[in-house]
Amino acid sequence: MKKLWIIIILLIIILGVIFIPKFLLDRGDEKVAFKVIEEDAIPDKIQQLLPKYQKEERALACKVDKKIYVIVTRGEKRTDGYRVTIDKIEKKSNEDKFDLIVYAEYKDPKPDEIVPQVITYPTIVAVTELEALPERIYLETKFIEE
């Protein structure tokens, strides 16, 4: 009988170690729906804003015509072949406001790949279903290879 109680207590401890951190670290993150827009569909206000930020590696959000756009820039690159895509966007509660975490994937040209020697500014723009701008926006990047 003692062995049964010991097994039950150990099982409760193991389950507690597994599940309690998940509940403590869950801060109300939720995925944000978004749609990447083509370069010719980018609003004029964003087109005018882009040169100011394209030389930096960052994520930013802006509101144009009651829509919230998320922009990810990779900075200035000296050759073609650099790409950026948005994998997902998460909304993270921050007291009575919220922050955004943008998960971007970077692709670089292969070392032996022949690419044009031209200055580029890899950028991606997505429209979200958010109704308000975030307090802060964070960029999490990951390099991918094909």
142 vs 15, which has greater pLDDT?
142
The neighbour count for residue 59, using CB atoms within 10 Å, is 22
- Please state which of the ranges 4-8, 97-101, 126-130 shows the lowest mean pLDDT: 4-8
Task: Label residue 2 exposed, middle or buried (CB < 10 Å: 0-12, 13-18, 19+).
Answer: exposed
Report the mean per-residue pLDDT for the chain: 90
Confidence of residue 1 (pLDDT cuts 50, 70, 90): confident
User: Which pLDDT score, from 0 to 100, does residue 24 have?
Assistant: 56
User: Which pLDDT score, from 0 to 100, does residue 17 have?
Assistant: 75
Residue 61: pLDDT over 90: yes
60 vs 1, which has greater pLDDT?
60
pTM of the model: 0.78
Domain boundaries, the chain: 28-143
Length of the chain: 146
Q: Tokens 């507690």 sit at which residue?
A: 16
Where is 132: in which H helix or E strand? none
Residue 108: pLDDT over 60: yes
Residue 128: pLDDT over 80: yes
User: Which pLDDT score, from 0 to 100, does residue 104 have?
Assistant: 97
What whole-number distance in Å separates Cα of residue 39 and Cα of residue 85?
Answer: 13
